[in-house]
A = this chain, B = another copy of it.
């Protein structure tokens, strides 16, 4: 994830900014960045990226599907899925085959090796999930998630307006 951080004295220099809003925005990106980095580090030994891990999970949980369908679930373009599958296929975790019913499309399937990796991956991630949120009560988490949902709604409408 791209790293972004405010200079410490940003606010001194930019008096017209809404300080709290800027701080919320910067910290949102910063937090996600730290989280993404942590996940990446946890998964590196398995030779899978965070995105690749999600692909494996989706394939195991929902069975074989087309690259397009994967892209919809991941909220990523088809072109991106192509790259992810190239990488996963190189590592033997996934297999592409033709779809008899529609010759435009493919069917992607997780391999036995992919299932093994996925199992290890989930174990690792869930173990650490508990660690990094250990100081949060369920109520805290719910409150936090509520904020995130509100921001997402807000962003979605601003994005629509912006195009």
Contact = CB atoms under 8 A, between A and B. Distances in A.
| Copies of this subunit | 2
Nearest to A133: B21
Nearest to A29: B32
Nearest to A147: B144
Contacts of A41: 159, 162-163
A156 B34 contact: yes
Interface in A147-163: 147-152, 154-156, 158-159, 161-163
Interface residues of A, number: 78
A104 interface: no
B162 A20 contact: no
B133 A154 contact: yes
Contacts of A18: 126, 129-130, 133
Given A7-B62, A51-B4, A126-B16, A35 B27 contact: no
A64 interface: no
A2 interface: yes
Interface of A: 1-7, 9-10, 13-14, 16-18, 20-25, 27-38, 41-42, 50-51, 54, 57-58, 60-62, 73-76, 122, 126, 128-136, 138, 140-145, 147-152, 154-156, 158-159, 161-163
